[in-house]
Amino acid sequence: MNDFRMLVTGANGFVGSAMCHAAVARGFRVRGATRKGAQLESGIENIAVGDIGGCTDWREALRDIDVVIHLAARVHVMRETLADPLAAFRAVNVAGTENLARQAAEAGVKRLVYVSSIKVNGEETTDGRIYRASDMPAPQDPYGISKWEAEQALHRVAAETGLEVVIVRPPLVFGPGVKGNFAQMMKALQQGFPLPLASVQNKRSLVYVGNLVDALITCATHPAAAGQTYLIGDGADLSTPELLRQLGSALGCTVHLFACPCWLLRVTAGIAGRSQQMHRLLGSLQVDSARIRRELGWHPPYTLQQGLQETAEWYRNHA
């Protein structure tokens, strides 16, 4: 058993569950933090920490921990109902993260790996441009703004306490257990719906959850990662039609695509209140993950196609 002791926040979530499983498989001693003490897989100690914010007590969860993988967050929602969503995001993602970092430093934790979001860079890439970690941040929505402010708070804590901080900004994460738009896409393909996306010519970066958690383990353990910010991707950017065809093949489905002008799709989506969903299907968002490969020697252990196959197999068994 590895003596390296890891705390994973949001341990019962989509990425958190995969993170705990991968860390245990590598021989790390893992403790999971969840809001209400949810059941975790065998071999993982679980600590209930309640709601995350500026007053959360992390002392028990941080006892004897070497590194924290901070995944817990108020996540982006498609149909926001709060009058002041930015305040809600800041309470959890900014105040909650800074509070965790300060208590981690006090507890003698060496490093905190923060899973941020590519939304810190912006919402889309245009004219062949690719997002890089060195870009000037340009978050557009409350979620992205809160993630950028959390990154800044962590750097302040690091400067004041010596806590090592590593920032990781993933694009869309997929894999077994995925929800949201990706799951809806698999459902539409499996049910044989014709989709008006044949003429879309975008490019989007994705990251398979198995690749993301492998990168997070590298960021948690590699000496050169301290103080750095990394973008993560599978390295094979796809257009929406290409993704649908590859995912349909993995699902064993016939994919029915037909052409429709993008302007008409945007107008129709706007009328239906689904502009953000359509934006993700039509727009480009590409990331450059060369930095983590160069500086840490990290390479994705799974291809994009392997990740799609694993995701499709899970969906067929659980849909």
Contact status, residue 75 vs residue 67, Cβ threshold 8 Å: no
Residue 48 corresponds to which tokens in the numbers above? 């209930």
Per-residue pLDDT at 275:
82
CATH fold for domain 5-177+207-235+286-302: Rossmann fold (3.40.50)
pLDDT digits (tens, 9 = 90+) for 248-265: 999 999 999 999 999 898
pLDDT exceeding 70 applies to what percent of the chain?
96
- Best CA proximity match to 227, nearest among 292, 169, 131, 155: 155
User: Which residues are annotated as catalytic?
Assistant: 143
Q: Is the pLDDT of residue 78 over 60?
A: no
pLDDT exceeding 90 applies to what percent of the chain?
80
* CA dist 36 → 9, 12, 27, 116, 306 (Å): 12, 10, 26, 23, 34
Q: With the C-alpha atoms ordered 282, 307, 245, 132, is the resulting torsion angle positive or negative?
A: positive
Report helix, strand or coil for 98.
helix
Per the model's pLDDT, the better-predicted residue between 35 and 154 turns out to be: 154
Per-residue pLDDT at 127:
84
Residue 70 corresponds to which tokens in the numbers above? 């901070």
Distance, CA of 189 to CA of 191 (rounded, Å): 5
Find the mean pLDDT for residues 97-123.
97
Per-residue pLDDT at 280:
85
* CA dist 122 → 1, 15, 51, 278 (Å): 41, 22, 28, 17
CB atoms within 10 A of CB 276: 14
Q: Which range (42-46, 60-64, 85-89, 230-234) has the least confidence?
A: 42-46
Mean model confidence pLDDT for the chain:
92
Per-residue pLDDT at 76:
66
Please, which pLDDT band fits residue 158 given cuts at 50, 70 and 90? very high
Q: Is the pLDDT of residue 1 over 70?
A: no
Contact status, residue 53 vs residue 92, Cβ threshold 8 Å: yes
Distance, CA of 61 to CA of 9 (rounded, Å): 9
Residue 27 corresponds to which tokens in the numbers above? 């021989």
End-to-end CA distance of the chain: 36
Q: Is the pLDDT of residue 113 over 90?
A: yes
Please, which pLDDT band fits residue 278 given cuts at 50, 70 and 90? confident
Residue 282 corresponds to which tokens in the numbers above? 């039509």
Please, which pLDDT band fits residue 181 given cuts at 50, 70 and 90? confident
**What is the amino acid identity at position 152?**
Q
Local structure of residue 93 (DSSP, 8 states): I
Q: Is the pLDDT of residue 138 over 80?
A: yes
pLDDT digits (tens, 9 = 90+) for 286-317: 999 999 999 999 999 999 999 999 999 999 98
Per-residue pLDDT at 77:
61
Q: Is the pLDDT of residue 82 over 80?
A: no
Contact status, residue 78 vs residue 280, Cβ threshold 8 Å: no
Residue 126, judged by CB atoms within 10 A of its CB (0-12, 13-18, 19+), counts as exposed
Q: With the C-alpha atoms ordered 130, 250, 186, 240, is the resulting torsion angle positive or negative?
A: positive
Q: Is the pLDDT of residue 83 over 80?
A: no
- Single pTM value for the model: 0.94
